[in-house]
A = this chain, B = another copy of it.
Amino acid sequence: MPDGSSQVKRGRKFDQVLKGARDVFMADGFEGASVDDIAKAAQVSKATLYSYFPDKKLLFMEVARHECNRQAEMAMDGIAPDTPIRDALTDMATQLLDFITSPFGQRMFRICVGESDRFPQLGREFYESGPKLVHDRLVAFISEGVTKGVLAVDDVPLAADQFAELCKADIFPRMVFSMASTFSKAEKDRVVIGAVDMFMARYAVRT
């Protein structure tokens, strides 16, 4: 194994194929994307494409996995350890909401949900490499607050999930049901501040 990252891949146009597939799948979803379109977008012949991926499903899974990892690596910039809770929460809420409303976030969510009959596994993998990370990060953060004595939380995992959920108030339903696809800073700020206020009201230790 000269290269630790690949067992199946070989040949020079592999990345081209993956990129083309990503573009088309992201634009059209699994069913909506045709293999011919992907080959065209990748500027590669269908035969080449099929020499890398024995079928469309495998190609799709590979693209999804790849994209999730790529996204997970980004937007994981930590928060300085001595930031006040309010500010730290505000930062995290903003990051989360930005991701959720990003074109990629929206697209990936739709694909996971819509294709979940065909690919239940896809949803799970996305969860692991997205929402789960946020959850874990929040749990760690809240736990720290508890040990510091600035937060009083009984059920830390629940508190983390509540916070994540609060970040989606108003915005998420409108997004998901095609009422809107972009949101102004003001709209997001309202929700973020609301989420932080609510979280603090419930869990901050009174001083």
Q: A-side interface residues toward B, CB under 8 Å?
A: 28-29, 31-32, 109-110, 112-117, 120-121, 123-124, 126-127, 131, 155, 157-158, 161-162, 164-166, 168-170, 172-174, 176-179, 190-191, 194-195, 197-198, 201-202
State in angstroms the CA–CA spacing of A67 and B32 once bound together. 26
Chain B residues with CB under 8 Å of A157's CB are 170
The contact sample of 20 A-B pairs, CB cut-off 8 A, is A29-B114, A29-B117, A32-B117, A110-B113, A110-B116, A120-B178, A123-B178, A127-B177, A131-B173, A155-B190, A158-B169, A158-B170, A158-B190, A161-B173, A162-B166, A165-B166, A165-B169, A197-B202, A201-B201, A201-B202
Asked if B155 contacts A194 (CB within 8 A), the reply is yes
Q: Using A116-B177, A131-B177 as known contacts, list a sample of 8 further A-B pairs with CB atoms less than 8 Å apart, ordered by residue number in A.
A: A29-B117, A110-B113, A110-B114, A120-B178, A121-B178, A158-B169, A165-B172, A201-B202
Please, how many angstroms separate the alpha-carbon atoms of A72 and B8 in the complex? 51
Q: Is the CB of A116 within 8 A of B178?
A: yes
- Across-interface contacts of A179 in B (CB, < 8 A): 123-124, 127
